[in-house]
Structure 1
């Protein structure tokens, strides 16, 4: 008989394994599973605001602030007050941050290849649809 939390346990285990794999792949770029996606969400030309990141990424403001601080320390982003509204933080990629985008995308592609190695394209698409539905149920 399956344990009552089998599904939840499997989801949790897979999420942790994905995080470990991402951390391994992103280490040469000085990034990890907790912060890489910020670089992908910041428009390389116009930048973005911290509030826009908050709405795109399911994290609270304090987590976003800490992760952006780390990226700032690495010289990958800059944060500045908006000229239009001093309450708004503008986030921009630095030249070094923009240079990391190509290698970052390649590393993510490699991780995706590893994760989905034994699934046919249709199975991958079905899995993504199912995960999207599960995520929608939680909102």
Structure 2
């Protein structure tokens, strides 16, 4: 049984940390009407000013139907607008609305505190090592995909 427990140890641990991070993020962003699965859209569109839907697909590691579903949720909340591109009529341009921009500003203020809370158990040296290890793992996974 012990071998079975350890066969997925890293995967299980990464998934558990990811799930708990999402729960914490959901709790911290609830008053903005955002979740761990939607905040990134507001952040990226706000950082860019506007993005085509194709650019957004490339920034986010989700299939297009999931991206579209989350965008539609943000449109219903009044945070994002989607319109046809003036340059390419087939392309959709994603922009923040006034309300979306207000939440983007709040999000930018809040994210550093949320990030720090998540890693506060690590000292400065551990945090440097953690960042290096995460970068290595991400690069390796990029190579596997």
How do residues 7-46 of structure 1 correspond to structure 2 at under 5 angstroms? 7-43=10-46, 46=49
* Partner residue in 1 for 2:6: 3
Say if 2:80 is the partner of 1:64.
Answer: no
Structure 1: give runs of 5+ residues left out of the alignment.
Answer: none
Structure with the bigger RCO (C-alpha within 8 Å, sep 6+) is 1
Q: Which runs of 4+ in 1 moved over 4 A?
A: none
C-alpha change, 1:45 and 1:136, in structure 2 (3 Å) is closer
Q: Which moved more, 1:88-97 or 1:3-12?
A: 3-12
Deviates more, 1:24-33 or 1:98-107: 98-107
For 1:53-109, what per-residue CA distance to the aligned partner results, in whole angstroms no more than 9, with x for missing partners? Answer: 111111111111011111111100100010111111100000111111222123322
TM-score w.r.t. the length of structure 1 is 0.92
Residues of 2 paired with 1:78 and 1:49: CA distance?
A: 11
RMSD over equivalenced CA pairs, Å: 1.6
Where do 1:28-107 residues align within 5 Å? 28-43=31-46, 46-107=49-110
User: Is contact 2:46–2:104 with CA below 8 Å preserved after alignment?
Assistant: no
Query: C-alpha offsets along residues 8-40 of structure 1, whole Å, 9 cap, x if unaligned?
Result: 111110000000000000100000000001111
Deviations 1:102-122 (A, max 9, x none): 221233222212211121233
CA distance in 2, matches of 1:44, 1:86: 24
Number of equivalent positions = 139
TM-score by length of 2: 0.88
> Are the counterparts in 1 of residues 46 and 101 from structure 2 also a CA contact under 8 Å?
no
Structure 2 regions of 5+ residues with no counterpart?
none
